[in-house]
Amino acid sequence: MPPIYYSLFVPALFVWLWSTGFIGAKYGLPFAEPFTLLLLRMLLTLIPLAVLALVMKSRWPGWRGAGHLAVTGLLVQGTYLGGVFYAIDQGMPSGLVSLIVGLQPLVTALAAVLLLRETVAGRQWSGLVMGLVGVALVLAEKLGEDSSGAGFSPVTLFWAGLSLVGISLGTVYQKRFGTGVDLISGTMIQYTAAAALFALGAFTLETREIQWSLQFSLALGWLVFGLSVSAILILMWLIRRGAASQVASLFYLVPPVTALEAFILFDERLGPMAIAGGVVAVAGVALVVTGGPRPVKT
């Protein structure tokens, strides 16, 4: 495959895979509690990764490197996934969760300024404001619709916001401390750390009961092989090859893809104000990532 097609195909594949994570959560959560489902997902994912590590003779980092990877795992896997799954489990539409988490490029740009010394242009600050305004419009409409209590509670915004912070800081932290590590072994360490977090949540907050069914098995299988193996390895590879803010630009494509999937599969609909807000938010994120920030020379 020519390099130009390769560079387009891999990001497009990642966007599609990542968008299906919200759909997989929607299908799997009726049969298991969030931390229980995520713990099972992490444990099952470690099996094919261990096989890949043996076959590819992966190199393992030292204790310091493993510590950095564990922090990344707690952020990118633990905090991000935990927030997304709890928000969906408590009634927030998967398309709306995706839109909130889709603000990741904005938060990543801010974190990159502080941690990686990347610069943000004036138009990117304008995009930040647009993104916040857009999401505010979506939330205003959805919360207005759900004021009767039939839909999600505003408390779920905490979980969605926690997810947003986790994936944003995790992307920056991975770029700063984890780019020189073997992808397979590094991902295994991240998943092990996340599994420990999910085990703590499952054994302290949940019943750990699972209603096994064909739908749950298929959803779990996709979450393991489609997301936890394929999408995460692609994400780590992309982070290694590009600036943190440039990689984050891919996430602004996820909300519209997820919204389309949620509309087709679950008949999740957005009203006129929410659609307008979504367009404004996506445009704001696109404005932030256009051109990407430049590292400050020292």
Q: Is 298 a member of any domain?
A: no
Q: Is 295 a member of any domain?
A: no
- The mean predicted confidence, pLDDT, of the chain is 80
Q: Is 250 exposed, middle or buried (0-12, 13-18, 19+ CB in 10 A)?
A: buried
Half-sphere exposure (CA, 13 Å, Cβ side) for 219?
21
Q: Which amino acid is at 267?
A: D
Number of domains, the chain: 1
Phi and psi angles of residue 287, each rounded to the nearest 5 degrees, phi first: -65, -35
Single out the residue of 77, 100, 198, 73 nearest to residue 158, CA to CA. 100
User: Is 181 within 8 Å of 120 (Cβ atoms)?
Assistant: no
State residue 56's pLDDT score.
Answer: 85
User: In the predicted model, is pLDDT for residue 298 greater than 50?
Assistant: no
State residue 225's pLDDT score.
Answer: 92
Q: Is 90 a member of any domain?
A: yes
Q: 6 Cβ partners below 8 Å, 6+ apart? A: none
User: Is 16 within 8 Å of 230 (Cβ atoms)?
Assistant: no
State residue 204's pLDDT score.
Answer: 96
| pLDDT confidence band for 245 (50 / 70 / 90) | low
The residue behind tokens 């299988």 is 221
Please tell me which of 20-29, 209-218, 275-284 the model is most confident about, judged by mean pLDDT.
209-218
User: Is 132 within 8 Å of 143 (Cβ atoms)?
Assistant: no
User: Cα separation of 147 and 95, whole Å?
Assistant: 19
Q: Is 17 a member of any domain?
A: yes
| Tens digits of residue pLDDT in 36-52 | 999 999 999 999 999 98
Cα angle vertex 29, ends 26, 33, to 5°? 150
Q: Which domain holds residue 257?
A: 3-289
Confidence (pTM): 0.79
User: Cα separation of 76 and 74, whole Å?
Assistant: 6
User: In the predicted model, is pLDDT for residue 195 greater than 90?
Assistant: yes
Tokens found for residue 44: 């099952």
High-pLDDT (> 90) share of the chain, %: 33
Tokens found for residue 178: 């984890």
Q: Is 297 a member of any domain?
A: no
Range in 9-18, 137-146, 167-176, 187-196 the model is least confident about: 137-146
Residues in the chain: 298
User: Cα separation of 198 and 228, whole Å?
Assistant: 15
| Tens digits of residue pLDDT in 252-273 | 677 777 877 888 888 877 677 7
Residues of the chain by 3-state class (helix, strand, coil), percent to 5: 80, 0, 20
State residue 234's pLDDT score.
Answer: 83
State residue 51's pLDDT score.
Answer: 92
The larger pLDDT score, comparing residue 131 to residue 290, is at: 131
